[in-house]
Amino acid sequence: HSSAAPIVPAERAGTNSDMLRRLATTPLRRAIVAPRLGSRPLSSAVSAATQRFLDDAGCAVPVIKGPMYPGSNPELVAAVSAAGGLGVVQPISLTHLYGHDFREGLQLIKRLTDKPFGVNFTILENKKYKKQMDEWMHVAADEGVKFFLTSLGKPDRIVAFAKPRGIKIYHDVHTPRVAEKVAASGVDGLICLNDAMGGQTGNRSAEMFAEQLRGIGLPLIQAGAVADGADLRRALDLGYAGASVGTRFLATHEAQVTQSYKDAIVAATGDDIVWTNKLAGTNSSVIKTDQLAAGGLRVNALVAWLLRNRYTKTLTRTLMSPRRVNPRHRRDDGVARPLISRRLKQAMETYKKAAFDDQVEIW
């Protein structure tokens, strides 16, 4: 597919246990996977920030499985946690893409592993979605989830909900300015999106971001450009507390995506990765295909202006979302759907087809 993927090693897709064993095969391995002794640090080789993240997440290896769409099937989330990392589930992916009731999906993950896992909440300014998110937060808390990963909007409401319940919150940030604002809201850590991410990217290197956020006082998680143990070690050496790994986990047996997607990830090299703003209105890194090259990578000048304008950018991004062929414009009760709701539903249906059908490409 013309789907997101950062640079990954050209190697056979293995199990998540294999993946995390390779990630831990560094000079830090014994320190990272050694059992805890009360509140003492695992080893002097582990930084205070890494120890803090391990305590927050309840995991043994400082690796988060990034919340992907697709990529939140219970089997994959549970496998990452069982292998020592922190699996994170994305509710819309779990319910819409993989067809689980949210509570039952969380309970399935708990049956597959007794290790902690997290839930991702994308913050959107939509009344219906906010109501749904509130319901999901209560369900997650009821099921014993102790780690929330939040993204996009202001996390204040989630912080107010989570803190009294002992739930840790790590929030996605892409600039130092956003990081400072989010840190002031009371989150416990920051997921630092860099310019080597798969999917929607950050706009600065991992090295630059680490330097710019030095002294912010929270654990920093590198998101982007981590696919093996050497990459993880580099992230830790830069001062990050851990890493968020996404695309590499899609190329595993537990991930429920098409084999062609996995094959494309494994076969890709750095030269195959390009940026485009045609998928979502913001830069996304994707695997270059003939179809993508024929369609061009950048929007035209008018759309670019609409994407920069504060009053039109949200609607423009929504209108750019992938559409189904012959979409239904009305609900089952015959009432017309609002345009934005209609387009979002169409986009989710298209992504669902692309995740499971080798013949469907998004472009």
Cα 115–chain centre separation: 19
Average pLDDT value for the chain = 80
> Can you tell me which residue has the tokens 């391990």?
54
pLDDT computed for residue 87 by the predictor: 97
* Residue 77 shares a structural domain with residue 161: yes
Q: Are 117 and 147 in contact (CB under 8 A)?
A: yes
Please state the domain count of the chain: 2
* Residue 324 shares a structural domain with residue 234: no
Question: What is the side-by-side strand order in the sheet with 220-223?
Answer: 63-65, 242-245, 220-223, 189-193, 168-173, 147-152, 117-123, 87-89
Q: Are 145 and 117 in contact (CB under 8 A)?
A: yes
| Helix, coil or strand: residue 198 | coil
Q: CA–CA separation, 220 vs 53, rounded Å? A: 9
pLDDT digits (tens, 9 = 90+) for 28-81: 333 333 333 333 334 446 799 999 999 999 999 999 999 988 888 999 999 999
pLDDT class for 19, splitting at 50, 70, 90?
Answer: low
Q: Are 249 and 226 in contact (CB under 8 A)?
A: no
Residue 269 within a domain: no
Instruction: Report which of residues 327 and 60 the model is more confident about.
Output: 60
Residue 121 within a domain: yes
Residue 226 within a domain: yes
* Residue 174 shares a structural domain with residue 312: no
Domain extent for 308: 299-363
Q: Are 71 and 255 in contact (CB under 8 A)?
A: yes
Residue 267 within a domain: no
Q: H-helix or E-strand containing 303?
A: helix 301-308
| Helix, coil or strand: residue 59 | coil
Interstrand relation of 168-173 and 147-152 (parallel, antiparallel or unpaired): parallel
pLDDT digits (tens, 9 = 90+) for 218-255: 999 999 999 889 999 999 999 999 999 998 999 899 99
Instruction: Report which of residues 320 and 136 the model is more confident about.
Output: 136
